[in-house]
Amino acid sequence: MARVDLTVRGAGIFGLSIAWEAARRGARVRLVEIDRIGAGSSGGLVGALSPHVPESWNEKKAFQLESLLMAESWWGAVEAASGLASGYGRVGRLQPLADQAAVDLARARSSSAAELWQGRAEWRVVPATGAAWEPASASGWLVEDSLSARLHPRLAAQALVAAIRAVGGEVIIGDAEDVSPVIWATGLAGLAALSADLGRVVGAGVKGQALSLRYPAATLPQLFVDGLHVVPHVDGTVAVGSTSELTFADGAAVDGQLDALHDKAVMALPVLAGAEVVARWAGVRPRAKTRAPLLGAWPGRAGHFVANGGFKIGFGMAPKVAEVVVDLVLEGRDAVPEGFRL
């Protein structure tokens, strides 16, 4: 590439998405990843793109809604440019309701969703049918939402790399010279660097573990059962995750907690009993103290910007994060929500 307009550091979901958004707008992009694509938490297995509950509305929930609603066309453009599947599918989600109080609350949220989700998705209370791909419900009722989607994290990363290159962007594994402006999307290491530079802790890591089972359910909804995500993928696997571990000795090691997660999934969905385990994963996810993404200018470092702290919602937030960050860096248009600023 003869000339570079901006540099993106980090090839997790935020870095890849920002690089693609800038490149498809015509910018000459250099994406630099010192380790490997999806080396951090973006190289996981789960890929649940699920909304917050439709109540107590705030700027974070509104931002996430916009991102989830734009995801189908956004990922469609990635697939068209790359010729590769991202694994995106708006398959919806089912959640069991434990008792009548939970049913009443879910019905109240259904009314809120009708307004807050702009009529573009539904949150409904439906009777359990006893189908094999359905969590048992003590109340006999389930929440079904049509906003939730899924994405295959590793396929999505490959598609983004190919899409960036297809429109003339550089993707460099190793190190390379920075050309300003520089966008730092470097996950856990980036949070540590920010904390050291600013003299205050802006975030930390939370370990997660997940596994993938061989089971064909690609067209079925994802499930959320007792804090557990069960996500069917286009490659004939079902991802199960994840733990949230604040203390750990080795962030990349799988252990007995993953075995317990597997057992819990089979208990919740007996149809998965006997399904072959095809992958296990552990990694540390970057969580900002605010629990919202950190976006915007790096204080005191002219020409440097930050996109970090995706934690559990990074894949779902990525299209809107990319749009807002590229608007800011390339066009000077600042639409970063106040709660997302450093």
Distance, in Å, from the CA atom of 46 to the CA atom of 242, rounded to the nearest integer, reads: 8
Per-residue confidence (pLDDT) for residue 1, from 0 to 100: 53
| Conformation bin of residue 10: beta by default, left when phi > 0, alpha when psi is -120 to 50 | left
Contact 303, 332 (CB under 8 A): no
Domains annotated on the chain, with CATH: 6-89+148-203+289-340 (3.50.50.60)
Per-residue confidence (pLDDT) for residue 84, from 0 to 100: 98
If one counts every other C-beta atom within 10 angstroms of the C-beta of residue 70, the result is 13
| Collapsed DSSP state (helix, strand, coil) of residue 326 | helix
Token duo for residue 215? 């089971």
Phi, psi (rounded to 5 degrees) for 30:
-115, 115
Cis, peptide link before residue 153, omega less than 30° from 0: no
Per-residue confidence (pLDDT) for residue 2, from 0 to 100: 58
Contact 205, 251 (CB under 8 A): yes
Distance, in Å, from the CA atom of 320 to the CA atom of 313, rounded to the nearest integer, reads: 12
pLDDT 10s per residue in the chain (342 long)? Answer: 558 899 999 999 999 999 999 999 999 999 999 999 999 889 999 999 999 999 999 999 999 999 999 999 999 999 999 999 999 999 999 999 999 999 999 999 999 999 999 999 999 999 999 999 999 999 999 999 999 999 999 999 999 999 999 999 999 999 999 999 999 999 999 999 999 999 999 999 999 999 999 999 999 999 999 899 999 999 999 999 999 999 999 999 999 999 999 999 999 999 999 999 999 999 999 999 999 999 999 999 999 999 999 999 999 999 999 999 999 999 999 999 999 998
The DSSP secondary structure of 229-251, one letter per residue, reads: EEEE-TTSEEEEE---BSS-S-T
Closest among 202, 193, 268 to 230, alpha carbons compared:
268
Per-residue confidence (pLDDT) for residue 3, from 0 to 100: 82
Phi, psi (rounded to 5 degrees) for 129:
-110, -15
| Collapsed DSSP state (helix, strand, coil) of residue 3 | coil
Per-residue confidence (pLDDT) for residue 342, from 0 to 100: 85
If one counts every other C-beta atom within 10 angstroms of the C-beta of residue 208, the result is 25
Kind plus residue range of the DSSP H or E element containing 332: none
